[in-house]
Structure 1
Amino acid sequence: MVLRASLAILASALLLGMYARGGFAVSLGFVALVPWLASVATLPSWRAALASGIAMAMLFALAVFAWFGDAVAAYTGIGTAGGIALVVLAAPLTQPQIVAAALAARWAAGRLGPVLRAVVVAAAWVACEWACPKLLGDSLGHGLQPAAWWRQAADLGGVPVLTFVLVLCNQWLADAWRHRRDASRGWRLPLACALALPVLLAGYGAWRSAQLRALPVEDTLRVAMVQANIVDYERLRRERGAYAVVREVLDTHVGMSRAALDAGRVDALLWSETVYPTTFGKPRSEAGAELDAEIAGFARGAGVPLVFGTYDRDAAGEYNAAAVLDPRDGLLGFYRKTHPFPLTEHVPGWLDGPRLRRLLPWAGTWLPGDGARSFPLRLPGGREVPVAPMICLDDVHPELAREAARQGARALLGLSNDAWFSAHPQGARLHLAVAAFRSVETRLPQVRVTTNGISAVVDADGGIRDATAMGTRALLVGEVAVRTAPVTRAVAWGGWFGPFALGLLLLVVVLRQWPRRSTGNAGQAGLVAAATSWPLATTWLSPRWRWAGVLLQGVAGATLAAFAGLWLFGDASVLKPMLQLRLFVALVALPTAAWWLLRRAHAARAELREGTLHVQGGGRSLRLPVAALDVRPLRLPFPGTGLRVRGEGGDAVLLLREPIDVLHALGRSADLPRGCAAYLAARGRHRGPRWDRAWLRTLLFPLLPAMFAFRLHQHIAYGGTFGEWQTFGATAWLTGAALWWAGWIVGLAVFAAVLRAVVEAACLAIAWGMPTRAATARHVLEGVARAVYYLGVPAWLVLRVLA
């Protein structure tokens, strides 16, 4: 067993090493972990699982990050072997998500079904990466950057979404492999899930890419990026003096910039991080003042904005910064690097001291900046494009780019000094891939310059259109399209997916340990039957009327889903308020009312007497001997849960709350998979509170936020609660109030539909993974959904007003 587990770890490490190099190996992300995960499920103890996770983390670090150990060795002088050994030995701390996934897989094995088992492992992986951020921000999802369609899902919640999908697929394939010889064919469900998920991911990416291409181009921005390939400033200072080095750097950048200006249209110039290695605008000497004036004069003469890396300082200390020079107004301001590199650029105050400085003489003294900042690039011809600079490690932290998008930036400007990657292009490629995802998440194009490569132009879909080589002097003129970027979920909701994964993990663990609740259906092993109280209220439909109900519900549900998709992933402004209201009335309200009338018209009562099922209602009656009855549950709960009854009188559909328990009362067992039976039983058994009625949820509750918002609107627009009444009369005031109420009805109906879809999907997954916890899961999730709806909506409204 030890040999088999070791070979599995080695195989996964080799596959991950190939995957990290990109190119044709991008698809390996979906299978690289399969050998290791398949072996973890067979380990006999927690100690073995922990050891497997630690060993996998160490071999992963060796296969993927050996270059980082060599770079550390070159910087610190500890030797290549020492640097790589440091990276490998620290792997359980720097790659803790692998250890967390091993422990999660060990816990889930034998406790959960294949769907939930994969969810638990993926959630543990992503939650651990969120709770323990990494220095380089690396995650499995970054390897999908070359895949034009797969990477687009990062706009939902960042790279963690892609990592979650990759771990899901790996775990499902591992389960399918382990059960490949089972007589029960337990491999089919995980294999189907693993094959379907990349297809769905690609489908979303294709749709999203088409949306981006359809957005109108409002302007174009041509930026000349100067990659001077002058590195190792400290060595050059020692050999030639500080002034001579600065003189060479400035002369080189000015000369290359003039060449770009002479060659054709250029809207702005971009120089790399710390290209001017002293404080700009606050000179320390007369020579520094002369150099400052020279740079400012060059920007004026060039006639285009200049953004370059320099230093800034105030009373608190000094900062790594980007200066923005306008050709007319001079210095517009500084962006201060928010995330200076630990120890080499910044040392936290609690750690700093003489002893640390003696131990690490290279430790820096820069202070962290205070977050994203946008600047207007005033371009030739009176054009203006808001941009947001980011410096080096800043692009590893997605919240900066998201905040810049919220501030109205139309493009991202990256300035970096990747000179320590000179001998390790793989590190520079990883940094570029990480930076490219900031464009996917925000849908903002990006131009990125580095000291010696890789400088690049990144489109709004994360594609790298133009790039320079490492270790070369290059002038890259890149043009990006400026559009009004759609507000993505990653921008609107921030880094929500990590906490979501943690909550999902805790929910499954708590439900698994929670005392069992009755889930009905004694015909399925391990589930508790419930007594059926006759007579039962039911809806008695012919097959044709059933399909009419399915059609009515389908129209209403599809409309709500379209509204939700447009609001979440599209541009809701294409639907004007009155158009939304008309569509809602025609395609949601009327079909829903028609379905309610249909159910009322076909209401009936069912009763079991002396071995005969009696159904009566609507002037009709049906008597069917149970012994000759062919009765089966509806496999899909459309237009509701129920039974399909076949007898001498023909086919009938009885819609019932508890079809599984009624089957048991009729002496039948559900010919359904265990998870499906548990889902239907738990759904039928659940009873919500009496006050949670459809009319309250749909009509009366929206009146509360509607009147609050309407009153606020009246005060803003007319100066008082009844300002519109006093100005235009009662009819205008009442019409406005009614429209606000109707608008909130539409919005909350869509929100309630989204909550319902989430609850049903979660309940179905839990019923398949933990059938005996299906009723508990529904009880908990329904309560959470009610709290989110009835308490979350007012709280959100109040917070918006206060903000």
Structure 2
Amino acid sequence: MPWAFLSALLGGVALWAAFPPVGWWWTAPVGITFLVLAALRGGAGRAFLGGWLCGVVFFGLQWDFVQEASGLLWARVLLAGFEALAVGLFAWLLRGLSRRWRSPWTVAAGGAALWAALELLRSEQPLGGFPWGTLAFSQVGGPLGRLAPYGSTMLVSAAVAFVGILVAAGVRRRGLTRWWSVAGAALLTIGIGFLPTAAATGQTLKVGFAQGIVPRGGQGAGGLSQAIAVTDGLRAASERIQGADLLLWPESASDMDPRQDANARALIDAASQKAGVPILLGTQEYQARTRYNQYVVWMPGQGMTGLYAKQHPVPYGEYVPGREFAAKITGAVNMISVDMLAGNKPAYLDVPLKSGTVQVATPICFEVAYDGIVGEAVRAGAQFIVVPTNNASFGSTAESAQQMQMTQFRAMESGRFAVQVSTVGVSGVAAPNGMVTNETKPWTEAAEVARIRLSTTLTFATRFGEALRWITYGLGAGVAAIGLSGLISRHTAGHQIGRGGRRHRA
């Protein structure tokens, strides 16, 4: 096997290892190093193929939960192959960039901007994108994660790419240039680790959260008996929570709409009356042929007083775009019998407490992966973050632990406490410095109480998130143009040399 393709394979494995179930943050820049070494060895076509192969290995290994939820290996492979095109494009353009720029530092800076832009693009397009596998999320336990409050996922991912490219550029050179590049990457990583983290400075709040468990027999919280069993399990677990100001239940806590179903309403009423505090819980609102995924405020003796409807349903997970066409390819689309509609309000709830009204950001499940959804809620006034999720469809995969990384990142990015509450785990509380407390084990009933601190201060990343997004795209487009010019000029030069009878080597 050629060295370039072996390097691409190693790069994909190293990138995967930065996330749970392994979770070694330092393998992310190592993975970029292997990817770049593969991209810079051989011609432009081989660079693209090597980058694509690296991406397929990375995403294919990480996204085992896609196969678990759908029961289809080809769905996992197809998604990984499509998303890996962004990695292939990065490697291809970096090949051209290295022909235009000679300094390892400028190539690393340009490559970092290019990676951040392409990663952002695949996180947003098509069909709303798929941010899973964003390198920034893997850095919550490492020094580069300290950049989160200063530049969100874009700056942290760019820093990972910068370090990895700089090391690769150094490896390809000799003498002092090599050692300056490697030493510079190491010193930069260490130095970033000394940046201060954001801190919550407001009043304290005691939040309780319940992980009631879903019966192991089936997926999700579907079916009449199973849906009621999930709600009853949360009610039972909540009885162990004492002295909380607010109770948090997960997404799909009551898939039987308590506004319509008397049994579900009775269970939730019983829990809220016994606790004497509001409950935030996930439910579904069904209409004629559609539904909404909602997170609602349930007050003792009053019932529902506020709701947020998920604004970013997962394509082919919660709704089926082009259903008629997709049904001709596979009958698996019939597993989603009722399409979910998108809400149109920010992921934000006002919750009345005895001490006053508290503003809560409530991105539901996969929405925590999207910069804009969480940032919009925090700018609207959210004082802490709740991430309700239902991970029952993903079995024993690392999906929930990967999502917990995202919750940690959002806490670090926003300077707010963030609570992930799951039907089956992992649940836990992330502090603004990224530390996790009250973490539960998967598939284990649990009830926890944690004291958190509220915050109204906006970090740089949260305040200027939209501007950072456009800056990332602008820098990425500029670097891509330079990389493309390098590829074109080399191709043209090759043809000119060929006419003179000299052999050209890419």
TM-score by length of 1: 0.55
Q: 1:115 maps to what in 2?
A: 105
CA deviations 1:173-210 (Å, max 9, x no partner) are: 111111125xxx43255334323321332132xx235x
1:50-449 equivalences under 5 Å are 50-62=48-60, 64-65=61-62, 68-69=63-64, 71-78=65-72, 83=73, 86-88=75-77, 90-112=79-101, 113-133=103-123, 134-147=129-142, 149-181=143-175, 185-204=176-195, 207-209=196-198, 212=199, 216=201, 218-231=202-215, 242=224, 244-261=225-242, 265-281=243-259, 283=260, 288-289=261-262, 291-296=264-269, 298-313=271-286, 317-327=290-300, 329-348=302-321, 358=331, 360-363=333-336, 364-380=338-354, 382-424=355-397, 426-449=398-421
CA 1:448 to 1:75, structure 2 compared with 1: closer, same or farther past 3 Å? closer
CA 1:352 to 1:414, structure 2 compared with 1: closer, same or farther past 3 Å? farther
CA 1:295 to 1:356, structure 2 compared with 1: closer, same or farther past 3 Å? farther
2:452 to 456, 460, 480: 480
CA 1:77 to 1:139, structure 2 compared with 1: closer, same or farther past 3 Å? closer
Q: Retained in 2: the 8 A contact 1:300–1:327?
A: yes
Letter of the structure 2 residue corresponding to residue 4 of structure 1: W
Mapped partners of 1:47, 1:479: distance in 2: 55
For residue 306 of structure 1, report the CA deviation from its aligned partner.
0.8
Letter of the structure 1 residue corresponding to residue 56 of structure 2: M
For residue 237 of structure 1, report the CA deviation from its aligned partner.
9.2
Mapped partners of 2:420, 2:328: distance in 1: 38
Letter of the structure 1 residue corresponding to residue 433 of structure 2: D
1:502 to 455, 461, 473: 473
> Is 1:25 matched up with 2:14?
no
CA 1:297 to 1:423, structure 2 compared with 1: closer, same or farther past 3 Å? closer
CA 1:348 to 1:17, structure 2 compared with 1: closer, same or farther past 3 Å? closer
For residue 326 of structure 1, report the CA deviation from its aligned partner.
2.0
For residue 314 of structure 1, report the CA deviation from its aligned partner.
6.0
For residue 329 of structure 1, report the CA deviation from its aligned partner.
4.5
For residue 9 of structure 1, report the CA deviation from its aligned partner.
2.1
Q: What number of residue pairs does the alignment pair up?
A: 478
Q: 2:126 maps to what in 1?
A: none
For residue 224 of structure 1, report the CA deviation from its aligned partner.
1.7
Q: Structure 2 unaligned segments of length 5 or more: list them.
A: 124-128, 486-506
Q: Retained in 1: the 8 A contact 2:290–2:340?
A: yes
Query: Which SS does the other structure have where 2:363 is aligned?
Result: strand
Letter of the structure 2 residue corresponding to residue 456 of structure 1: G
Mapped partners of 2:357, 2:219: distance in 1: 40
Q: Retained in 2: the 8 A contact 1:157–1:496?
A: no
Mapped partners of 1:422, 1:359: distance in 2: 18
Query: Which SS does the other structure have where 1:311 is aligned?
Result: strand
For residue 427 of structure 1, report the CA deviation from its aligned partner.
1.9
Query: Which SS does the other structure have where 1:198 is aligned?
Result: helix
Mapped partners of 1:90, 1:417: distance in 2: 22
Letter of the structure 2 residue corresponding to residue 48 of structure 1: R
Mapped partners of 2:375, 2:220: distance in 1: 38
CA 1:42 to 1:25, structure 2 compared with 1: closer, same or farther past 3 Å? same
For residue 57 of structure 1, report the CA deviation from its aligned partner.
1.8
Query: Which SS does the other structure have where 1:478 is aligned?
Result: strand
Q: Retained in 1: the 8 A contact 2:278–2:353?
A: yes
Query: Which SS does the other structure have where 1:97 is aligned?
Result: helix
Mapped partners of 1:34, 1:74: distance in 2: 31
Which of structures 1 and 2 has the bigger CA Rg? 1
For residue 500 of structure 1, report the CA deviation from its aligned partner.
2.1
For residue 353 of structure 1, report the CA deviation from its aligned partner.
8.2
Q: Retained in 2: the 8 A contact 1:231–1:451?
A: no
Q: Retained in 2: the 8 A contact 1:246–1:276?
A: yes
CA deviations 1:417-475 (Å, max 9, x no partner) are: 11123221x22211110122122222121122101100111112332122101111111
Query: Which SS does the other structure have where 1:175 is aligned?
Result: helix
- Over aligned residues, Cα RMSD in angstroms? 3.0
Mapped partners of 2:234, 2:23: distance in 1: 37
For residue 307 of structure 1, report the CA deviation from its aligned partner.
1.0
Q: Retained in 2: the 8 A contact 1:439–1:459?
A: yes
Query: Which SS does the other structure have where 1:20 is aligned?
Result: coil
Mapped partners of 1:246, 1:510: distance in 2: 53
Query: Which SS does the other structure have where 1:279 is aligned?
Result: coil
Q: 1:463 maps to what in 2?
A: 435
CA 1:97 to 1:269, structure 2 compared with 1: closer, same or farther past 3 Å? same
1:713-792 equivalences under 5 Å are none
CA 1:29 to 1:414, structure 2 compared with 1: closer, same or farther past 3 Å? same
CA 1:10 to 1:509, structure 2 compared with 1: closer, same or farther past 3 Å? closer
Query: Which SS does the other structure have where 2:145 is aligned?
Result: helix
Letter of the structure 2 residue corresponding to residue 109 of structure 1: S
Mapped partners of 2:240, 2:183: distance in 1: 57
Mapped partners of 1:223, 1:356: distance in 2: 46
CA deviations 1:604-637 (Å, max 9, x no partner) are: xxxxxxxxxxxxxxxxxxxxxxxxxxxxxxxxxx
Mapped partners of 1:6, 1:512: distance in 2: 22
Q: Structure 1 unaligned segments of length 5 or more: list them.
A: 515-803
> Is 1:493 matched up with 2:464?
yes
CA 1:86 to 1:354, structure 2 compared with 1: closer, same or farther past 3 Å? closer
For residue 373 of structure 1, report the CA deviation from its aligned partner.
4.2
Q: 1:595 maps to what in 2?
A: none
CA deviations 1:250-275 (Å, max 9, x no partner) are: 332222212213xxx11111111112
CA 1:237 to 1:93, structure 2 compared with 1: closer, same or farther past 3 Å? closer
Percent identity of equivalent pairs: 22
Q: 2:10 maps to what in 1?
A: 11
Mapped partners of 2:482, 2:264: distance in 1: 67
Q: Retained in 1: the 8 A contact 2:114–2:479?
A: no
Mapped partners of 2:476, 2:433: distance in 1: 31
Q: Retained in 1: the 8 A contact 2:252–2:282?
A: yes
Mapped partners of 2:399, 2:310: distance in 1: 21
For residue 124 of structure 1, report the CA deviation from its aligned partner.
1.9
CA 1:370 to 1:6, structure 2 compared with 1: closer, same or farther past 3 Å? same
Q: Retained in 2: the 8 A contact 1:221–1:482?
A: yes
By relative contact order (CA 8 Å, sep 6+), the higher-ranking structure is 2
Mapped partners of 1:139, 1:359: distance in 2: 28
Letter of the structure 1 residue corresponding to residue 253 of structure 2: V
CA deviations 1:50-75 (Å, max 9, x no partner) are: 2212222222234x42xx33x34443
Mapped partners of 2:481, 2:228: distance in 1: 65
Letter of the structure 2 residue corresponding to residue 187 of structure 1: R
